[in-house]
Structure 1
Amino acid sequence: MSAQLIFDRAPLGALIRYADGSPRPPERHRKKLAAWENRNSGGRLIAKRAQAVVGSTTLPASITLHKGDFGSGGVIVLRVHQTFSVNNDLTFTVVERPAIGSVLVLDRAGEDAELIHLAESRDAAQAWLKSHGYPHAVLREVTADDAAPGDDEGRAAA
């Protein structure tokens, strides 16, 4: 499916894979492999941003994936996010939707809210919030509508 379909139909918290369709280069070609991995990877959908107009420039809608955290001893030093315009040429697939009853911890209310944590229950989400301190956080439970796959899931859009 296209990035536009991910924007339109995939819920926050879904695991997304993306690919450009090219074959993986051999391990010995480190630079080629690094470039390939940049266009063939995945992450958790944490944000959807609508189209915006800034002055005379129009910014297309976009999706943001959380690709990973780096650190040690329970301390996260670096968070890796990647943002994609809905106009890009990659093929996206929803690998997993958040489970019904799990709770999305969003950084704020509204359409521009960003997922900061996915908890298995409301109690787990509240415990996580107490230890991480996001003052404007909003909890939203995943419903059957969020967890139900779309009729076009897994197919590449033309």
Structure 2
Amino acid sequence: MSAHLIYDLAPLGSVIRYSDGQPRPPERHRNKLSTWQNTNGGGRLVRKQAEQRVGNTIIPASITLHEGDHGSREIIVLRVFRTFSVTSALKFVGAERPAIGAVRVFDRAGENAELVHLASHRAAAEEWLTRHGYPNAVLDEVTTDAVAAEVVEGRAAA
């Protein structure tokens, strides 16, 4: 499916995979493999940015995936995000939806909120918040009603 369909249908917290459709090169071809890895991967959908107008320029809507963290033990040194325009030529697949009962932790309220953590339940989300500094955080539980509404409306993407 297209990035635009992911933007429209996939809920924040979904695991999304993307690909250019090319087969993975052998490990011995390091340069080709590195290039391939730039256009084939996946991550958790953490943000949807609506189309914006800046002067006479229109910036298309976009989706942002959290691809991973780098560090050691409990210290994260680098967080890797990748943002795609809805006009991207890559193919996207919703691999996994957030589980019913999971709690999404957003950095703030509103349309431009970013998912900073996905906890298995509310107590785990509240415990995570005590260790991380997000004073304006908003907790949002994934409910059966929300999932059922998406399926009934034919909007299931992942």
Q: Shorter-chain-normalised TM-score: which range?
A: over 0.9
Distance in 1 (alpha carbons) for counterparts of 2:137 and 2:24: 40
Contact 1:13/1:45 (8 A) holds in 2: yes
Contact 2:109/2:137 (8 A) holds in 1: yes
Other-structure match for 1:131 = 131
Verify: 1:25 aligned to 2:25, yes or no.
Answer: yes
Other-structure match for 2:87 = 87
Q: CA RMSD in A?
A: 1.5
- Secondary structure of the corresponding residue to residue 116 of structure 1: strand
Identical-residue share of aligned pairs (%) = 62
Distance in 2 (alpha carbons) for counterparts of 1:132 and 1:153: 31
Shift, 1:146, TM fit: 3.8
Shift, 1:152, TM fit: 6.4
Distance in 2 (alpha carbons) for counterparts of 1:151 and 1:68: 27
Other-structure match for 1:60 = 60
Give the direction of change, closer, same or farther, for the CA distance of 1:152–1:74 in structure 2 (3 Å limit): closer
Verify: 1:100 aligned to 2:100, yes or no.
Answer: yes
**Deviations 1:137-158, CA, capped at 9 Å, x for gaps:** 000001222476656647xxxx
Distance in 1 (alpha carbons) for counterparts of 2:73 and 2:90: 36
Give the direction of change, closer, same or farther, for the CA distance of 1:8–1:57 in structure 2 (3 Å limit): same
* Structure 2 unaligned residues grouped into runs of 5+: none
Other-structure match for 1:111 = 111
Distance in 2 (alpha carbons) for counterparts of 1:93 and 1:43: 11
* Structure 1 unaligned residues grouped into runs of 5+: none
